[in-house]
């Protein structure tokens, strides 16, 4: 009897000790053994590896010719760095000299030689291998490079389209090498954290599936059954919920997702999510998991991140920043001045304020008079008009403290000084003021806030610290939003599987537009890097949302609705946008800089030229006929 109970005790204590140890070391595993980067291959060392300690060793290096100088030196490059080779000049090595002096740059060579100290005074402190050089004994050109369309080091200056056409050449640049390797490291740490520390199971889900109602436009894939199409999933949402119903308990996947929405700097038709789902979890549980995951996988060179992340409700974010993804690295928050204007009886605003949701708000652009040109101010006002149909009135604080604006003739001296006080206006500040419907005013001012910040920075003001990391949870989103194209109908703010806020469940059946949800987004420096929710796990509630609120055909989701009837655990999850996250870590404006083979703005692969025409014969099994004659003409050409 004694033995099993000791075992049981150990069983209970050991995982806790493990967790304690992990916590003691700041949640970090002991450093792993350095990987062996020279195993299985024809080299002894990489081009970034050799130091003074290697002097005297015979080494074999493989790499690309970075440049060659007067038949005397050659710099060899690989993923790790550069090494200077000394081309032998003696007669016995004349064939080696000839070979290396004549090989064009970017040719691939293998050399064997002896590591030597550079002659005194010729060390290169800028090169990690700058203390040594390799005196070549034998050399072989493994692959000649024909004339390049441009030099690799000039690549960055070339147009993005050209770089994408020759993506494999662009990939040789140290910038892209760094980005892709960092991405790989971060994902590895995420896997460690999820699987090794927290028992998640990595499950692959299908990419050939069927349409999911609501949400993004999906890509169709023809099938051999007449008139039937697969859809490429916009996310593994349904599968991950079904995995919870299947008892997997903790799922994650580095998941490829597809949305037929065209590319933007931060969007691509195909992209990658770190997709997560857990059973028996609440919002706080998911948030702690993600904070721990990011802390654990965050690259050291970007400094530590502090948890827990602050949190803000959707309403607060909209009111103060005019967006559900606020950039909290700087102030210039939206200030509500409705009360003051109402009291002052300013005529033309009174009318607006009397409407339901009527409001007057403003942002104060610090030192706007000094940093913004007149044409900047005009273009800001024009943008608000074009994008949001919102008029903007500007107010300028003159050096003597008086205000200059269309508005001032409606305001007495006392009111002007109250306005300055409410908006904390200093000399040379510019206030942008808007009156209208709450959401429209907030959105317009939120957008002007960001545009003004860009203008101030372009003119030399230091507003945002480029090294700062402002993570923020945005919570308590509405469950539904009015459809843009028809505001009398509702659509899901996140997706149709999101559960209502527990305090608002009853409202779901009486006034769904007022229901808050258990949806949370993670924002970093004004960019949405993740989003998720606690899910509906009750079939009846899910059916009600689909049929009665969203007016969707629930038949499309009958498999999920049925699954919810067979014992569905409460569950929730989240997905992090990996491409965007990595691009923020490396400080790149475009996610295309962290994707090996990205698509162009128009969703094309400029290297392989996809999408491409296919012949009518190839279309036959799919019962598809392209009637556009150009397509056939083009297809025949191919």
Which of 65, 523, 520 shows the shortest CA–CA distance to 326?
A: 523
CB of 312 to ligand ASP, least distance (A): 19
Neighbours of 503 (CB within 10 A): 10
Alpha helices in 478-571 (DSSP H): 505-510, 539-544, 558-563
**Is 532 a residue that touches ligand ASP (CB under 6 A)?**
yes
CB 397 within 8 A of CB 403: yes
Q: Which tokens hold the place of 340? A: 């003051």
Q: Which tokens hold the place of 409? A: 């003739």
CB 81 within 8 A of CB 131: no
**Is 573 a residue that touches ligand ASP (CB under 6 A)?**
yes
Strand partners, 8: none
Q: Give the interface segment with ligand ASP, choosing from 79-87, 141-149, 168-176, 528-536 (CB under 6 A).
A: 528-536
**Is 531 a residue that touches ligand ASP (CB under 6 A)?**
yes
Which of 287, 292, 278 shows the shortest CA–CA distance to 201?
A: 278
Residue nearest to ligand ASP (CB): 235
Which of 367, 336, 319, 342 shows the shortest CA–CA distance to 434?
A: 336
Neighbours of 563 (CB within 10 A): 18
Residue of 575, 581, 584, 595 that binds ligand ASP (CB under 6 A): 575
Which of 303, 320, 305, 265 shows the shortest CA–CA distance to 522?
A: 305
CB of 235 to ligand ASP, least distance (A): 3
CB of 56 to ligand ASP, least distance (A): 57
Look-up: residue for tokens 């230091």?
Answer: 462
Nearer to ligand ASP, 235 or 405 (CB): 235
Residue of 297, 416, 533, 554 that binds ligand ASP (CB under 6 A): 533
Per CB under 6 A, contacts with ligand ASP among 156-175 are: none
**Is 253 a residue that touches ligand ASP (CB under 6 A)?**
no
**Angle of helix 578-586 relative to helix 174-191, nearest 10 degrees?**
130
CB of 518 to ligand ASP, least distance (A): 10
The terminus-to-terminus CA distance of the chain in angstroms comes to 78
Nearer to ligand ASP, 526 or 573 (CB): 573
Residue of 66, 237, 287, 518 that binds ligand ASP (CB under 6 A): 237
CB of 281 to ligand ASP, least distance (A): 12
Q: Give the interface segment with ligand ASP, choosing from 261-269, 340-348, 442-450, 570-578 (CB under 6 A).
A: 570-578
CB 305 within 8 A of CB 471: yes
Q: Give the interface segment with ligand ASP, choosing from 49-57, 361-369, 431-439, 569-577 (CB under 6 A).
A: 569-577
Q: Give the interface segment with ligand ASP, choosing from 243-251, 311-319, 467-475, 572-580 (CB under 6 A).
A: 572-580
Q: What are phi and psi of 455, to 5 degrees?
A: -65, -45
Residue of 136, 455, 574, 578 that binds ligand ASP (CB under 6 A): 574
Q: Give the interface segment with ligand ASP, choosing from 79-87, 531-539, 599-607, 615-623 (CB under 6 A).
A: 531-539
**Residues of the shown chain interacting with ligand ASP in the complex, contacts defined by CB under 6 A:** 235, 237, 531-533, 573-575
């Amino acid at each position: 009897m004694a033995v099993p109970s000791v075992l049981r005790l150990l069983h209970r204590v050991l995982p806790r000790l493990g967790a304690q140890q992990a916590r003691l070391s700041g949640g970090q595993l002991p450093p792993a053994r350095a990987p062996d980067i020279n195993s299985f291959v024809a080299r002894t060392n990489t081009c970034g590896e050799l130091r003074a300690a290697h002097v005297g060793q015979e080494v074999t290096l493989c790499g690309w010719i970075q440049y060659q100088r007067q038949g005397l030196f050659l710099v060899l490059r690989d993923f790790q760095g550069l090494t200077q080779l000394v081309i032998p000049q003696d007669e016995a090595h004349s064939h080696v000299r000839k070979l290396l002096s004549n090989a064009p740059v970017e040719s691939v060579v293998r050399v064997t030689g002896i590591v030597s100290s550079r002659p005194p005074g010729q060390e290169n402190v800028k090169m990690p291998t700058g203390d040594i050089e390799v005196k070549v004994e034998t050399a072989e050109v493994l692959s000649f490079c024909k004339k390049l369309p441009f030099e690799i080091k000039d690549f960055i200056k070339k147009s993005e389209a050209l770089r994408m056409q020759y993506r494999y050449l662009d990939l040789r640049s140290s910038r892209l090498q760094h980005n892709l390797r960092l991405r790989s490291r971060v994902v590895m740490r995420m896997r460690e954290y999820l699987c090794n520390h927290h028992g998640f199971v990595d499950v692959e889900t299908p990419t050939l599936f069927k349409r999911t109602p609501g949400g993004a436009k999906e890509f169709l894939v023809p099938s051999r059954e007449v008139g039937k199409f697969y859809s490429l999933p916009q996310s593994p949402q349904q599968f991950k919920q079904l995995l919870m119903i299947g008892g997997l308990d903790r799922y994650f996947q580095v998941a490829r997702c597809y949305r037929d929405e065209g590319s933007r700097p931060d969007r691509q038709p195909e992209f990658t999510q770190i997709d997560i789902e857990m059973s028996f979890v609440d919002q706080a549980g998911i948030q702690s998991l993600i904070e721990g995951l990011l802390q654990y996988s965050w690259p050291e060179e970007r400094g530590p991140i502090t948890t827990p992340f602050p949190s803000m409700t959707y309403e607060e974010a909209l009111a103060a920043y005019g967006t559900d993804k606020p950039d909290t690295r700087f102030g210039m928050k939206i200030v509500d001045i409705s009360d003051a204007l109402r009291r002052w009886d300013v005529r033309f605003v009174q009318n607006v304020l009397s409407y339901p949701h009527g409001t007057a708000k403003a942002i104060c652009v610090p030192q706007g008079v000094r940093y913004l040109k007149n044409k900047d101010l005009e273009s800001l006002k024009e943008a608000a008009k074009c994008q949001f149909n919102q008029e903007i009135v500007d107010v300028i604080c003159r050096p003597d403290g008086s205000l200059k604006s269309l508005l001032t003739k409606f305001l007495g001296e006392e009111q002007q000084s109250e306005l300055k006080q409410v908006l904390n206006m200093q000399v040379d500040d510019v206030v942008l003021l808007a009156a209208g419907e709450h959401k429209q005013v907030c959105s317009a001012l939120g957008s002007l806030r960001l545009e003004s910040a860009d203008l101030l920075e372009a003119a030399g003001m230091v507003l945002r610290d480029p090294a700062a990391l402002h993570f923020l949870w945005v919570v308590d989103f509405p469950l539904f939003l009015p459809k843009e194209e028809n505001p009398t109908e509702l659509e899901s703010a996140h997706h149709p599987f999101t559960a209502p806020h527990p305090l608002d469940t009853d409202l779901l059946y009486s006034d769904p537009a007022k229901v808050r949800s258990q949806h949370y987004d993670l924002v970093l420096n004004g960019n949405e890097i993740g989003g998720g929710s606690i899910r509906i796990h009750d079939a009846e509630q899910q059916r009600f949302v689909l049929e009665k609120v969203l007016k969707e055909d629930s038949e499309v989701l009958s498999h999920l609705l049925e699954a919810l009837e067979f014992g569905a655990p409460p569950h929730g999850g989240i997905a992090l946008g990996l491409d965007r996250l990595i691009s923020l870590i490396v400080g790149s404006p475009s996610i295309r800089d962290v994707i090996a083979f990205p698509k162009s703005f128009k969703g094309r692969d400029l290297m392989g030229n996809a999408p491409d025409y296919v012949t009518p014969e190839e279309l036959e099994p799919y019962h598809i006929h392209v009637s556009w004659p150009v397509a056939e003409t083009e297809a025949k050409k191919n």
